[in-house]
Amino acid sequence: MFSHLQIDRLRKLVGLFNEPVIFHCHHYNLFLQQTIEDPDWIDGVSILQTSAQEIFYSLLKNAFVTLGIETAAERLATAARMFSFLGFGQLNFEVTEGGGEVELANSHYATGWLGKYGEQVNRTKPIDHMAVGYVAAALDATFAELGTYVAEETRCVAVTRQGSCRIQVTRAPVRRQLTPSPQMGKLIEQPAPLPLPQTSVNYDVVNEALWSLPLEGDDKGQIRAFNVLLTRMPANYYNRIQYRFLDELQKLDPQLLGIGQDLIRESGHVCVFYTFGNIMESLEWETVVGPMLNTDTDWVHGAYAVASSLGWGRWQALEVISNTSCRVAIDGNYETSYFLASYPSADQPSCYFAQGAVPAIMNVVYNGHIQQKPVLDEALYHRLFQRNGLFGGAEVKAREKGDPWCEFYAQRS
């Protein structure tokens, strides 16, 4: 599968069978899923499972066509390899066209949850909503059309703490009308003429170095790197679940919308603290970025160079004032490319993840002192993001509102 990744060096995007794929870690994945799953006034589980079925159907169908795979056995085997390559664990399909059972071993979500919360909380409900949607999508793409199958997790390791997970899949009584992925979305035609950043960090060199890393699922179907569990997730899964979550809150009570947006921004804090924090404490960072770091502001530029390597689009710090503020342009942000392909218009800037991530990078560098390699645990996270002098941010330009790129500003509150 690694050979089928397509790197768009101009837009800083990564595609896999015409689906944008991006890296995120288990801390982010769990936080975002919990944000959508927990409220009992919406059906968050359905949002997670249905969105996964839609997005992964598009990915798998494109893969089968591109690779010329026609038999059911080959398609299911390819779906299992894809699942492991992306870092989600291992699937063993025991199914026919009528349905059946699927074993899920080394689940990303269950493993991540047990490692993060297992000593503190006893979970009572299954956690593998993305995998449930993936299994239904795999049978849709193998035997029929999108929406033909439904699936349910009947045993979850996050609950049992032993054995493997099991997912039951059956044909739906009536085929559901689901919405396939917009794939790469509405891309920028060409990169914007942004000024070169004033830094010794060479963004392109960092990009090439990180793009060359063979980050794919191991023999357990897991991507263990930078002291976290990574996934190479289709970006549109994240996009679809976060925007559907906000749509449901808006329909239920418009006053809840702001709370939902703040929670998506908080997911940006979680991602930067754990994923970027661990990257910035890693040997790879010391080897690739370390020799370029001459000032504290170079650490901020280094973080944005890394962001541009993860498939998120072209992130570039336009100005960084030490310990004070920064301006950041994101040209081709994955959130916006999806939004423009899925919604007719926007009343306000809608890159909520990026709105949280931009000030979080300043917080990690200037409040968390990542240069000193602190222990990145829950206690530090809460101290860092609940202290005085926190960096706040705003999106001041947005492609979804007609601007040529998205631009963000962060400063001390």
Q: What does DSSP assign to residue 2? A: G
pLDDT in tens, 186-243: 999 888 889 888 899 999 999 999 999 889 999 999 999 998 999 999 999 999 999 9
Distance CA 6, CA 17 (A): 8
Give me the residues paired with residue 152 across strands.
168
Task: Say whether 123 sits in a helix, a strand or coil.
Answer: coil
Confidence of residue 118 (pLDDT cuts 50, 70, 90): confident
Cβ-count burial of 163 within 10 angstroms (0-12 exposed, 13-18 middle, 19+ buried)? Answer: exposed
Domains parsed from the chain with CATH numbers: 2-171 (3.30.1380.20), 203-212+254-412 (3.30.1380)
Q: Widest CA span of the chain, in angstroms?
A: 63
Contact of 307 with 155, CB cutoff 8 Å: no
| Cβ neighbours for 128, distance < 8 A, ≥ 6 positions apart | 104, 107, 109, 110, 153, 156, 158, 165, 167
Closest CA to 147 of 53, 244, 36, 70: 53
Residue with tokens 């063993």, as numbered in its chain:
92
Q: How far is CA 376 from CA 96, 188, 380, in A?
A: 46, 36, 6
pLDDT at residue number 219: 96
| Cβ neighbours for 44, distance < 8 A, ≥ 6 positions apart | 36, 37, 38, 245
Distance CA 20, CA 339 (A): 14
- Return the percentage of the chain with pLDDT > 90, whole number: 86
pLDDT at residue number 2: 64
Mean pLDDT score, 247-256:
92
pLDDT in tens, 148-199: 999 999 999 999 999 999 999 999 999 999 999 999 999 998 888 898 888 9
Contact of 11 with 314, CB cutoff 8 Å: yes
Task: Say whether 398 sits in a helix, a strand or coil.
Answer: coil
Distance CA 48, CA 153 (A): 13
Whole-structure pTM value:
0.96
The alpha helices in 38-149, defined as continuous H runs, are: 44-67, 72-85, 108-117, 129-143
pLDDT at residue number 1: 65
Neighbours of 305 (CB within 10 A): 28
Mean pLDDT score, 307-313:
95
pLDDT at residue number 119: 84
pLDDT in tens, 6-59: 999 999 999 999 999 999 999 999 999 999 999 988 999 999 999 999 999 999
pLDDT at residue number 227: 86
Confidence of residue 346 (pLDDT cuts 50, 70, 90): confident
